[in-house]
């Protein structure tokens, strides 16, 4: 059986009238890249701070590698936190920044140096040890912060929006790097983010937070393909949520459904309606947007309701997509892609 790195049992935390964490149960496995994803105010940062020991819970238990640490001080827990602002010492060299924690722990100088260099190599910053933080790019500073965390070989690394300060291109590059570094060092990473794409890209598993609770815990594919609630469906990816009469009309059954836009094909209205296991609906294109790699159609359905469909632009064409506006179309999708949400 795999080891459990972090176990949270009925964790609760309020600040005055505000309930930040409303009863969270969670198990994070050894060596896992785990993300806590949710909108602002959903409680994910508070959970991270509780695990780090910066806050203490009103109720519940926190275990690290099977040991109850709920009442222990941060330095007594085998975790390290990487903050968004990196908190590097500007007057120290990169190497001194990375080795600082070891110095505090009275590790001999020669060993400090060896370990600091190894950590810098792990984040692909060998040769940068003698620079000062101001002489590095944002992405490099981020990696120094990571090296400083890795050098102490914590059981669990906590990362609070670690890529939030980087611009989009660099962020995308660092997402891939961070995941590769995690895989190499094998340490459990627990990351807080409000960016669904970031969570989907890097994580082995994700917990989606909604109002102080986990709405769903699963792999990126489980969360995206089988969202447990309407909130998860709409927060992670683009969704078509169908309820009531519209859902009944196009699925033939009661309930609330979600269909991802890329699962819906846009066809000519005259296209054959009956393909086995497929559902179809006709309507009028209300809006069409050219996105480069794909085109997005908003279609007002006959009889009410609206669906968004995303079509890959597989062929080269300079055709003006605006010409589709107001045209009649048939939408078709495989029935299994209309995912029923538990009510
Ligand atoms: P964000 O992405 O904006 O940081 P979050 O999902 O991480 O959001 P938390 O920071 O955990 O959410 O906050 C959850 C709730 O608890 C919010 O309503 C917040 O205002 C409140 N809260 C968090 N920390 C404190 C504090 N120290 N004092 C008072 N209220 C707090």
Q: Tens-digit pLDDT profile for the chain (343 aa)?
A: 469 999 999 999 999 999 999 999 999 999 999 999 999 999 999 999 999 999 999 999 999 999 999 999 998 999 999 887 778 899 999 999 999 989 888 999 999 999 999 999 988 888 899 999 999 988 888 889 999 999 988 999 999 988 887 788 888 888 998 999 999 999 999 999 999 999 999 999 999 999 999 999 999 999 999 999 999 999 998 899 988 888 888 888 888 999 999 999 999 998 876 788 999 999 999 999 999 899 999 999 998 999 999 999 877 777 788 889 999 999 999 999 999 998 6
Within the chain, all domains assigned CATH 3.40.50.300 are found at: 4-235
* Cα-to-centroid distance, 45 and ligand 1 (Å): 7
The span from the CA of 139 to the CA of 341, in Å, is 40
In the reported structure, the alpha carbon of residue 141 is separated from the centroid of ligand 1 by a whole-number distance in angstroms of 26
Q: How far is the CA of 120 from the centre of ligand 1 (A)?
A: 33
Domain 4-235: give its CATH superfamily: P-loop containing nucleotide triphosphate hydrolases (3.40.50.300)
Distance 81 CA to ligand 1 centre (A): 17
Q: Which residues of the chain are in CATH 2.40.50.100 domains?
A: 240-341
Please identify which residue in the block is written with the tokens 């489980």.
222
Q: Quickly count: other Cβ atoms within 10 Å of residue 7's Cβ.
A: 17
The alpha carbons of the chain give a radius of gyration, in whole angstroms, of 24
Question: Are the CB atoms for 61 and 111 separated by under 8 Å?
Answer: no
Q: Are the C-beta atoms of residues 28 and 4 closer than 8 Å to each other?
A: yes
- Residues facing residue 188 across a β-bridge: 156
Helix (H, G, I), strand (E, B) or coil at 216: strand
Distance, in Å, from the CA atom of 301 to the CA atom of 32, rounded to the nearest integer, reads 44
- Its ipTM equals 0.94
DSSP 3-state assignment of 69?
A: coil
The protein residue whose alpha carbon is closest to atom 2 in ligand 1 is 40
Q: What are 144's two structure tokens? A: 């120094």
Left (φ > 0), alpha (ψ -120 to 50) or beta: where does 25 sit? beta
Interatomic CA distance for residues 111 and 120, integer angstroms: 14
How far is the C-alpha of 206 from the C-alpha of 34, rounded, in Å?
6
**3-state SS assignment for residue 167:** coil
SS3 336: helix
Ligand 1 atom nearest to 16, measured from its CA: 29
Mutation test of ligand 1: which of 8, 14, 15, 198 has the most ligand atoms closer than 8 Å to its C-beta? 15
pLDDT of 273 reads 67
Calculate how far, in angstroms, residue 118's C-alpha sits from the geometric centre of ligand 1. Answer: 36
Distance, in Å, from the CA atom of 142 to the CA atom of 146, rounded to the nearest integer, reads 6
pLDDT value, residue 1: 42
Question: What CA dihedral angle connects 52, 60, 217 and 46, to 10 degrees?
Answer: -40
Please list every protein residue whose CB sits less than 6 Å from any atom of ligand 1.
15, 18, 20, 38, 40-46, 194
What would be the CATH architecture of the domain defined by 240-341?
Beta Barrel (2.40)
- What 269-273 contacts at long range (C-beta under 8 Å, 24+ apart), as own/partner pairs, is 269/328, 269/329, 269/330, 270/330, 271/330, 271/332, 273/330
Backbone angles phi, psi at 154, to 5 degrees: -70, 155
* Ligand 1 nearest atom to the CA of residue 192, by list position: 7
Cα of 41 vs centre of ligand 1, distance in Å, is: 5
Q: Are 281 and 250 in contact (CB under 8 A)?
A: yes
């Amino acid at each position: 059986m795999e080891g459990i790195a972090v176990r949270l049992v009925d964790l609760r935390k309020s600040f005055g009238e505000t309930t930040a964490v409303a009863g969270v149960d969670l198990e994070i496995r050894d060596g896992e890249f785990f993300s806590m994803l949710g909108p602002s105010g959903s409680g994910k940062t508070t959970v991270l701070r509780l695990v780090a020991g910066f806050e203490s819970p009103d109720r519940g238990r926190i275990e690290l590698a099977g040991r109850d640490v709920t009442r222990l001080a941060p330095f007594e827990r085998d975790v390290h936190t990487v903050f968004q602002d990196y908190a590097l010492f500007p007057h120290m060299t990169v190497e001194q920044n990375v080795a600082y924690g070891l110095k505090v722990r009275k590790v001999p100088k020669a060993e400090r140096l060896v370990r600091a260099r190894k950590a810098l190599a792990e984040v692909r910053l060998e040769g940068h040890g003698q620079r000062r933080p101001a002489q590095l790019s944002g992405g490099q500073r981020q990696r120094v912060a990571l090296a400083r965390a890795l050098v102490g070989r914590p059981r669990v690394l906590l990362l609070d929006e670690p890529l939030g300060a980087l611009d989009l291109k660099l962020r995308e590059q660092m997402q891939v790097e961070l995941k590769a570094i995690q895989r190499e060092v094998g340490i459990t990473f627990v990351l807080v983010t409000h960016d669904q794409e970031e969570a989907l890209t890097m994580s082995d598993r994700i917990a989606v937070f909604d109002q102080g609770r986990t709405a769903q815990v699963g792999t990126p594919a489980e969360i995206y393909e089988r969202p447990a609630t309407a909130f998860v469906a709409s927060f992670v990816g683009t969704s078509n949520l169908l309820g009531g009469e519209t859902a009944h009309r196009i699925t033939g059954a009661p309930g609330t459904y979600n269909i991802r836009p890329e699962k819906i094909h846009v066809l000519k209205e005259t296209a054959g309606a009956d393909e086995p296991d497929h559902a179809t609906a006709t309507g009028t294109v209300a809006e069409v947007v050219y996105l480069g790699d794909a085109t997005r159609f908003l279609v007002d359905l006959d009889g009410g309701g609206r669906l968004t469909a995303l079509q890959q632009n597989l062929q080269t064409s300079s055709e003006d997509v605006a010409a589709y506006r107001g045209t009649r179309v048939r939408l078709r999708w495989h029935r299994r892609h209309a995912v029923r949400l538990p009510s």
